[in-house]
Amino acid sequence: MNGTVVIGAQFGDEGKGKIVDVLAEESDLVVRFNGGANAGHTVQVGSEQFAFRLLPSGIMIGNGVVVDPAQLLEEIDGLRKRGYAVENLRLSDRAHVVMPWHKVIDELEEKVKEGMAAATTKRGIGPAFEDKVGRWGIRVADLLDPVVLRKKLESLLPVKHRIILALGGSDVFVLERIFNQYGEFGGRLKAFVADTSVVIDQAGKNGKSVLFEGAQGTHLCVDHGIYPYGTSSNCVAGAAAVGAGVGPRAIDRVIGVVKGFTSRVGAGPFPTELDGKEAEYLRERGGGEYGTVTRRPRRVGWLDLVMLRMSARVNGFTDLAVTKVDVLGGVETVHAAFAYEHYDNELHEFPANMRVLAECNPVYEEFDGWEDLPPEEWRRIAANGFDALPAKAQKYLRWIEKELAAKLAFVSVGRAREETIDLRKARPPSPPKKAAKASRRR
């Protein structure tokens, strides 16, 4: 199988959607394998803008995703209304379903967690994964089987009510109503439901290329992220195998998407975080650094190589895509942390202890900034390739490439597809030297 995974190297706001969109054109299948409707990606196609939560840029939702059926049906209907075919969509029968109590419990848990609250998207993601791991989740296959669905609801609902009460809530769910509503969702989704692992395997055997689209970012991963301030699923490349039902050898290439600076929504320590004017500059020029799902203003800061080196390691990046290089235009001195100072120690590895992380001060490498260019100039640069970028931006990008020991494959300088430099494309050969010059030298 020709398998490529695209992974966010930071906190999930890297602009993966656009890179996935570019790569999807050369892939036969696009598979989502983690997260749920907490993800959001914005894709600009011509003058049309799409903001997705569940749907991959392509067509397959693997077992590792938790699915909110109402949200998924809304996105399907939305695409159909805009004239797009969705008949190729396949939804794993093993994917877990986000139920209404998951959202209620998500809200209530956030309130009682106090300092441990992650400022979640309130989409019920954590509680849905809790049920999955606790082995009492409802799976897509169950929505198609009234006997199983009813049985599960009968044993689940009284317990969920007790949990809601204990957390200070009062919501009550009527079994019959949930049974009918979710049974109906199952009926509407039935045509899409499949054993997606088999479909992907077949595609691989037929020589098709598969793109695995990671949701969120490495530092939100429940194992490798800034626990407990991340999300509840695995967001690293290895999760593509588990969450799509393929063996690890199906993955040939791991593309890490790095935004030229750092941003995030949600809680937790952020050593390179900026405030004041510099933060405002990046946030506003980022074309609205506001979460796709929650519209919350993103926290912004300088690039953090301590964090990114960890991302490169745990994902095994082979390639890099660096985004929003245009947004940094006009910044006088671009900073990037290459280490942390923690009292008398210089740390080069990302700490597990959040108290330690909160006490870290970044040690910066400084780069001369490049000019603030109008959008048409960035488009012209994108059309002419990497060498057309301002020399100072090239220096910054090559430094990131060297630090992360992965090949720079894409540079993004705007929202649209054509505002992407694809370094994989063979560069045009340089023109032959003029014979006259050569003869003069002799």
Q: Is 142 a catalytic residue?
A: no
Kindly state the tokens that stand for 220: 């939100």
Residue 262 burial (CB count, 10 A): 29
Q: Is residue 118 within the footprint of ligand IMP (CB under 6 A)?
A: yes
Token reading at 317: 């990046």
38 binds ligand IMP (CB under 6 A): yes
Q: Is 119 in the site for ligand IMP (CB under 6 A)?
A: yes
The closest of 126, 107, 232, 127 to 171, measured between CA atoms, is 107
243 forms part of the interface with ligand IMP (CB under 6 A): no
Residue 72: name the closest of 25, 39, 121 by CA: 39
**Residue linked to tokens 């020029």:** 285
Residue of minimal CB distance from ligand IMP? 266
| 13 contributes a contact to ligand IMP by CB under 6 A | yes
50 has which bridge partners?
Answer: 43
Residue 220 vs 331, nearer CB to ligand IMP: 220
* Residue nearer to ligand IMP on the CB measure, 13 or 142: 13
Cis upstream peptide for 228 (omega within 30°): yes
Q: Confirm or reject binding of residue 263 to ligand IMP (CB under 6 A).
A: no
Backbone angles phi, psi at 18, to 5 degrees: -70, -40
Stretch that binds ligand IMP, among 36-44, 93-101, 307-315, 425-433 (CB under 6 A): 36-44
In sequence order, the 6+-apart residues with CB closer than 8 A to the CB of 200 are 1, 29, 31, 60, 62, 210, 244, 245, 246, 250
Site for ligand IMP in 325-344 (CB under 6 A): none
Q: Which region, judged by CB under 6 A, interacts with ligand IMP, from 11-19, 191-199, 248-256, 418-426? A: 11-19
- The CB density around residue 94, as the number of other CB atoms within 10 Å, is 17
Would you report the helix, strand and coil content of the chain in percent, each value rounded to 5?
40, 20, 40
Burial 229-240 (b: 16+ CB within 10 A, else e): bbbbbbbbbbbb
Judged by beta carbon, residue 183 or residue 228, the one nearer ligand IMP is: 228
One-letter amino acid of 281: Y
Binding residue for ligand IMP (CB under 6 A) from 126, 204, 238, 286?
126
Stretch that binds ligand IMP, among 61-69, 114-122, 239-247, 305-313 (CB under 6 A): 114-122
| Backbone phi, psi, residue 327, to 5° | -65, -35
266 near ligand IMP (CB under 6 A): yes
Single residue of 92, 218, 232, 420 touching ligand IMP by CB under 6 A? 232
Eight-state DSSP code of residue 286: T
Q: Among 13, 106, 131, 304, which one carries the catalytic annotation?
A: 13
Q: How far is the CB of 298 from ligand IMP (least distance, A)?
A: 8
Asked if 117 is part of the footprint of ligand IMP (rule: CB under 6 A), the reply reads no
- Residue (of 382, 417, 337, 407) closest to 10 by Cα position: 337
The stretch near ligand IMP (CB under 6 A) out of 122-130, 154-162, 250-258, 404-412 is 122-130
Least distance to ligand IMP, CB of residue 229, Å: 6
**Residue 34 or 339: which CB sits closer to ligand IMP?**
34
Minimum CB distance to ligand IMP smaller for 11 or for 317: 11
Q: Which of residues 196-225 bind ligand IMP (CB under 6 A)?
A: 215-216, 220
**DSSP per-residue codes, 329-344:** TT-SEEEEEEEEEETT
**342 included as an active-site residue:** no
Dist CA 33 CA 236 (whole Å): 10
Q: Is 231 in the site for ligand IMP (CB under 6 A)?
A: yes
Q: With CB under 6 A as the rule, give the number of residues binding ligand IMP.
A: 21
User: Which range, of 115-123, 279-287, 320-328, 433-441, touches ligand IMP by CB under 6 A?
Assistant: 115-123
Q: Which of 41, 96, 102, 219 is catalytic?
A: 41
| Pairwise CA distance, residues 190 & 200, whole Å | 19
Q: Which residues bind ligand IMP (CB under 6 A)?
A: 11-13, 38-40, 118-121, 123, 125-126, 215-216, 220, 230-232, 265-266
Task: Give the residue numbers annotated as catalytic, written as ranges.
Answer: 13, 41
